[in-house]
Structure 1
Amino acid sequence: MRLRPEIAALPPYRQGRPAPADGHKLSSNENPFEPLPSVVDAVAATAATINRYPDATALSLREKLAERFGASADEVIVGGGSVALLAAFIQAAAGPGDEVVYSWRSFEAYPGLVTVSGATSVQVPNRDDHGHDLDALADAITDRTRVVIVCSPNNPTGTIVTAAEFEAFMARVPADLLVLLDEAYVEFVFDETSVDGRGLVGRYPNLVILRTFSKAYGLAGLRVGYAVGPVPILDAARATIIPLSVTAASTAAALASLEPDAEEELLERVSAIADRRDRLRAALVEAGWPVPEAHGNFVWLPAGDRTDAVAEALWNAGVVARPFAGAGIRVSVGDEAANDVLIATLAPLAP
């Protein structure tokens, strides 16, 4: 078959192997808490109309989100998870001969999304503390650059970009260059110095903020994310995104999660996960692991050449994590029992 050679050579996204029946699946940054009953009920109520197409624009959800961001509904787009929106924005702005700049290591989907668009990735190494080097990112921008992606908190290293760093970065970026601020884990951030997209809406004509309901709101299985930004950029993404990719069940679940009582309980869960994360990191650092500051619902183990061996030790202990060969291991925060297993297994393996 006459396939695009760069696509034929592109490895498909693969989920981690399933955890043992009595083990812990900590490879996908999922929320360990079960769905709220009110959310389950909202999803169930949509079953009677599955013979009908959903609202293609998820208007009711866009209106709700627009209120929170001080924006109009036209300045919000909803998609099948934030990764689908990332793909739409990249395809809207970049093609063959163009470049997309981002830090590395960062979200593992970025290289594939750029390749599918026909553009070329420009990967800028993270700093020694595993965070974004925004000065180097700005230096990497050329006449061929069409998109720059900033991920905060960074997946998989967990580091944040501060508000001051981001403002200085945006001052160096050409006003006609699309900047995507990927905030998939922003609800887990409790550092007041961190960049927060809510305060940036309307400030920059080239900035789009992306968020998701998959992590903090526990809707990973329903695939619903959103972006907020200038209408012309969002309209371009609407032209590239797959139509009707957000189902009625996804919209209903997201709206139910934003109800005051439900959201209060969900954010209490986020606080509990962040507390477990901080205690896990502290224990690992005490054991000798150089774990960077963690601001998502995961921690990063910079295992280097020992990555595969450490991942196998975790597997033997009943833990499935996310190894990145030669670099390190991302471990999602699960329940308290999972923390105990992680600490007991990893402490003797500290570098």
Structure 2
Amino acid sequence: MTTPQPRANVAEIPPYVAGKPPTVRPGMTSYKLSSNENPYPPLPGVIAAVQAGVVAMNRYPDMGATMLYDALAEKFDVPVGHLSVATGSVGLIYQLVQAFCDPGDEVVFAWRSFEAYPIAVTAAGATSVRVPVLADGRHDLDAMADAITDRTKIVLVCTPNNPTGPAVTQSELDAFLARVPSHVLVVVDEAYVEFVRMDDPVDGLATYRRHENVVLTRTFSKAYGLAGFRVGYAVGPDPIAAALRAVSLPFGVSTVAQLAAVESLARQEELLERVEALVAERTRVVNGLRDAGWDVPEAQGNFVWFELGDRTADFAAAADEAGIVVRPFAGEGARVSIGEVEANDRLLQVAAAFR
């Protein structure tokens, strides 16, 4: 007897491995450092906006997300027609591949990078072209440009790169874009853009304004602390943004998520003070790790990367024993989010003992 069968590529989709919750240990506060979440609770004003929206949960959200589009357009001085919102920046990545790739088309990206990339590509029936990162965790943009063929439809540039940490400079991105054919879509994934502190940082908005084939993807999950509400936005030329909106899930961004995002934009200065505190903690952690003998890559997101190879599982187990859960990538390394001060202190203790 025959039964319904999914497309063959569905069986090839790699699973997304979410960060584990912390192990409950009696007498010890455990910390989750596995998902790059903002450790600060929501601002009171954001909570009030969400509570006001909850009373209308029997109604569908504004499918046009009008208030959010208007707020984003004003904040970044871009036309509303150049915007698209979705369920986090990962939702936008899925939509971009769906909108621009036919089965067999190629999508080029660094590896290791954001683990949702090959999932989105495979789900669309497209082909992943993975270009190894350099020894210091940076994108090898020259090799990525060399990897572009007549089948390439999209190139994904994750900056800062998740999970390794380094960010691309504007000079590097400009040189790369000069080599990319105009019909190839370049996605600059800026999920952690608010955490970047470096010379010659990428100016994503200025870059998109200069190129008809560049789109930015950003999120409210990290710096803004709205990971549970799933709100992301793309900024790109009108035809690209329109294509994203055409394939978007109707009513995908909930009413409370829209309200939280709008209120967060209004309170951006207050929220970014928290980002500065996290950046300061990141600097303290990186310096502490290097003082302990670790050669960690440049950290421009809200996390640090440990190149561990076959010791990865042992490191994750040692961290778990200390009441912190990290995100291991089997046989490669571990990504550890910057969290509460106590959690970061424990990480430094674990790392010093493990070294």
Q: TM-score, normalised by structure 1?
A: 0.97
Is the Cα–Cα contact under 8 Å of residues 28 and 322 in structure 1 kept in the other structure?
yes
Aligned counterpart in structure 2 of residue 18 of structure 1, from 21, 45, 52: 21
The corresponding residue for 1:271 is 276
Q: 1:138 to 1:251 in 2, by over 3 A?
A: same
Aligned counterpart in structure 1 of residue 252 of structure 2, from 219, 222, 245: 245
The corresponding residue for 1:92 is 99
Taking the aligned partners of 1:321 and 1:298, their CA distance within structure 2 comes to: 10
Structure 1 residue identity aligned to 2:13: L
Taking the aligned partners of 1:148 and 1:110, their CA distance within structure 2 comes to: 11
Structure 1 residue identity aligned to 2:300: H
Q: Does 1:316 align with 2:305?
A: no
Is the Cα–Cα contact under 8 Å of residues 107 and 126 in structure 2 kept in the other structure?
yes
Taking the aligned partners of 1:346 and 1:9, their CA distance within structure 2 comes to: 36
Once the two structures are superposed, the pairs formed by residues 293-312 of structure 1 within 5 Å of their partners are 293-312=298-317
Shift of 1:318: 1.1
Once the two structures are superposed, the pairs formed by residues 50-89 of structure 1 within 5 Å of their partners are 50-89=57-96
Structure 1 residue identity aligned to 2:204: G
Aligned counterpart in structure 2 of residue 27 of structure 1, from 23, 34, 47: 34
Is the Cα–Cα contact under 8 Å of residues 205 and 230 in structure 1 kept in the other structure?
yes
Is the Cα–Cα contact under 8 Å of residues 107 and 129 in structure 2 kept in the other structure?
yes
Structure 1 residue identity aligned to 2:151: R
Structure 2 residue identity aligned to 1:282: N
Taking the aligned partners of 2:9 and 2:205, their CA distance within structure 1 comes to: 37
Q: Aligned with 1:49: secondary structure?
A: coil
Q: Aligned with 2:287: secondary structure?
A: helix
Q: Aligned with 2:187: secondary structure?
A: strand
The corresponding residue for 1:199 is 206
Shift of 1:148: 0.2
Taking the aligned partners of 1:334 and 1:98, their CA distance within structure 2 comes to: 39
Shift of 1:165: 0.3
The corresponding residue for 2:285 is 280
Shift of 1:57: 2.2
The corresponding residue for 1:121 is 128
Q: Aligned with 2:54: secondary structure?
A: helix
Aligned counterpart in structure 2 of residue 292 of structure 1, from 297, 304, 307: 297
Taking the aligned partners of 2:315 and 2:89, their CA distance within structure 1 comes to: 30
Structure 2 residue identity aligned to 1:168: A
Aligned counterpart in structure 2 of residue 223 of structure 1, from 215, 218, 230: 230
The corresponding residue for 2:49 is 42
Taking the aligned partners of 1:57 and 1:223, their CA distance within structure 2 comes to: 16
Taking the aligned partners of 1:34 and 1:99, their CA distance within structure 2 comes to: 40
The corresponding residue for 1:155 is 162
Q: Does 1:169 align with 2:176?
A: yes
Q: Does 1:5 align with 2:30?
A: no
Shift of 1:230: 0.8
Taking the aligned partners of 2:264 and 2:199, their CA distance within structure 1 comes to: 24
Shift of 1:5: 3.1
Is the Cα–Cα contact under 8 Å of residues 113 and 164 in structure 2 kept in the other structure?
yes
Structure 1: which 5+ runs fail to align? none
Is the Cα–Cα contact under 8 Å of residues 71 and 201 in structure 1 kept in the other structure?
no
Q: Aligned with 2:208: secondary structure?
A: coil
Q: Aligned with 2:55: secondary structure?
A: helix
What is the identity percentage for the equivalent residue pairs of Structure 1 and Structure 2? Answer: 54
Shift of 1:240: 1.7
Greater displacement, 131-140 / 65-74: 65-74
Shift of 1:70: 2.4
The corresponding residue for 2:150 is 143
Q: TM-score, normalised by structure 2?
A: 0.96
Structure 2: which 5+ runs fail to align? none
Is the Cα–Cα contact under 8 Å of residues 312 and 328 in structure 2 kept in the other structure?
yes
Taking the aligned partners of 2:332 and 2:73, their CA distance within structure 1 comes to: 39
Q: Does 1:345 align with 2:350?
A: yes
Taking the aligned partners of 1:342 and 1:5, their CA distance within structure 2 comes to: 43
The corresponding residue for 2:333 is 328
Is the Cα–Cα contact under 8 Å of residues 326 and 334 in structure 2 kept in the other structure?
yes
Is the Cα–Cα contact under 8 Å of residues 300 and 331 in structure 1 kept in the other structure?
yes
| Alignment root-mean-square deviation, CA | 1.1
Is the Cα–Cα contact under 8 Å of residues 106 and 154 in structure 1 kept in the other structure?
yes
Shift of 1:17: 2.5
Taking the aligned partners of 1:176 and 1:63, their CA distance within structure 2 comes to: 29
Taking the aligned partners of 2:166 and 2:341, their CA distance within structure 1 comes to: 23
Is the Cα–Cα contact under 8 Å of residues 14 and 118 in structure 2 kept in the other structure?
no
Taking the aligned partners of 1:10 and 1:141, their CA distance within structure 2 comes to: 23
Structure 2 residue identity aligned to 1:308: A
Greater displacement, 149-158 / 240-249: 240-249
